[in-house]
Structure formats: structure tokens, C-alpha cells
């Protein structure tokens, strides 16, 4: 079996982001999605610190300390972009104006619950940022993650054991093994993306039952 690498997962997500979408990309793997969007597709990226129309990283020497992204890295803004304050920014998120957000996760449940902000360790310093607002507010929540933990356990689970970020909000899961839709009647396999992985083997690794209807 040949699994997708991080950039290949990001490229697979990018394929599903349509022209005209307003999109928020989380920190880490989700950020990579931006560089895989086709040049001829207009997608407007929202950065929750106050940008619509986030551009690529600035060239060395062109950084501006007043222009950063949600990960606090130097950023640029596209022609046609806008700046706004934090309450407006989260009105865009909470008010259902963001079409798609892409988040990383520790676990996603069969019901679409997501856990991505806290490992549950007692001495961990907690930090949540905008993850709970995005989970609650975006029209569609895409999750990117490796399918299995280092110990080989599925991160797609019946019930999350880590502290929850949001309930019943994930719509689609992209992993190094598969693309899975979360629907009201359970998990539906969209596509196996790892080369040489059979449905039966994916089902065994996934732990939670997958529905699959081959294209007619």
C-alpha cells in the first residue's frame, strides 16, 4: 500500500474547492491546500485575524509586521482583498458565510464530532483559538489528518475520546488512505486514495463501518 503524503492530501482537498468559494484554512496541513488550488480558479481565502483574499507568502525582504496570517506568519493580500476587525471576522464564520473550512484533527467520530484542540493530558496548557467557532459556523467542515495514529489506531472513531471541539459538524474527511463523507446515516466512502488498498483492508483499519456504493 502506498499512502498519500501531506501535499498529496492537500492537493486532493483542493480539487473539491469550487470556483467562488470562501474558504478558511487551518494551521498545518490545511494551509498547504492554498498552494494546490488551480491558478485559474478564483477562491477567496479568509484568515480569521482579519483578511479576505489572503495571498501567498511574501518574498524574502517584503514582509510587513502589520500583515500576518492566522498562524502569525508574514502574509500578503490579493488585489480585491479586504481587512476587517475580529468581531466581523467571526461574524463571517459563526454567521455561516464561510463555505468551507479545512481543519486538522486528532479524531473524528462517525457522527461528525471533531476533537482537535486538546490532548486531554492534565498538565497540558490548553489553547483553542478559532477552532470551535469554525467547527460551529462554517457551512462545510473538511478534516485532513493521517488515518492512523503512530500506534496504528484509527483516528476515525465511533466516539471521540479526546475533548471535543464541535459536535456533528464534520462533512468530509480526507486522509492518507481515503476520502469519507459524514452523513446522517453514517460514514460513506467516497474514494480510496492509497494505492493498492482494498475496501476490506480499509474497513479493517478504519474501525467504524463504512458504507460504499460503487459508481453506476
Q: Which is nearer to another protein, 116 or 206 (CB)?
A: 116
Q: Which is nearer to another protein, 107 or 206 (CB)?
A: 107
CB of residue 129 to another protein, shortest distance in Å: 4
CB of residue 91 to another protein, shortest distance in Å: 8
| The one catalytic residue among 19, 48, 146, 195 | 48
CB of residue 34 to another protein, shortest distance in Å: 17
CB of residue 135 to another protein, shortest distance in Å: 8
Q: Which is nearer to another protein, 133 or 176 (CB)?
A: 133
CA distance 62 to 147: 38
Q: Which is nearer to another protein, 9 or 75 (CB)?
A: 75
Known catalytic membership, residue 146: no
Binding site for another protein (CB under 8 A): 47-51, 64-68, 72, 75, 77, 83-87, 89-90, 93-94, 118, 123, 125-133, 136-137, 163-167
What SS3 string covers the chain?
CECCCHHHHHHHHHHCCCCCCEEEECCCHHHHHHHHCCCCCCCEEEECCCEEEECCCCCCCCCCCCCECCCCCECCEEEEEEECCHHHHHHHHHCCCCCEEEEECCEEECCCCEECCCCCCCCCCCCCCCHHHHHHHCCEEEEECCCECCCCCECEECCCCCCCCECCCEEEEECCCEEEEEECCEEEEEEECCECCCHHHHHHHHCCCEECCCCC
Catalytic residue set: 48
Amino acid at each position: 500500500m502506498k499512502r498519500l503524503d501531506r501535499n498529496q492530501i492537500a492537493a486532493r482537498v483542493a480539487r473539491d474547492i469550487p470556483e467562488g468559494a470562501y474558504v478558511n484554512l487551518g494551521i498545518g496541513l490545511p494551509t498547504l491546500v492554498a498552494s494546490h488550488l488551480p491558478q485559474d480558479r478564483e477562491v477567496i481565502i479568509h484568515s480569521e485575524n482579519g483578511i479576505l483574499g489572503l495571498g501567498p507568502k511574501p518574498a524574502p525582504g517584503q514582509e510587513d509586521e502589520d500583515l500576518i496570517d492566522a498562524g502569525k506568519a508574514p502574509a500578503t493580500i490579493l488585489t480585491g482583498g479586504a481587512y476587517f476587525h475580529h468581531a466581523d471576522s467571526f461574524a463571517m464564520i459563526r454567521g455561516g458565510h464561510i463555505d468551507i473550512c479545512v481543519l486538522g484533527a486528532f479524531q473524528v467520530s462517525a457522527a461528525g464530532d471533531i476533537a482537535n484542540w486538546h490532548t486531554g493530558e492534565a498538565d497540558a496548557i490548553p489553547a483553542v483559538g478559532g477552532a470551535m467557532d469554525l467547527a460551529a459556523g462554517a457551512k462545510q467542515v473538511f478534516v485532513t489528518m493521517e488515518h492512523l495514529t503512530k500506534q496504528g489506531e484509527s483516528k476515525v472513531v465511533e466516539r471521540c475520546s479526546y475533548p471535543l471541539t464541535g459536535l456533528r459538524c464534520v462533512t468530509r474527511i480526507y486522509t492518507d488512505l481515503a476520502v469519507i463523507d459524514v452523513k446522517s446515516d453514517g460514514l460513506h466512502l467516497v474514494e480510496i486514495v492509497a494505492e493498492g488498498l482494498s475496501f476490506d483492508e480499509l474497513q479493517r483499519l478504519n474501525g467504524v463501518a463504512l458504507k460504499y456504493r460503487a459508481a453506476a
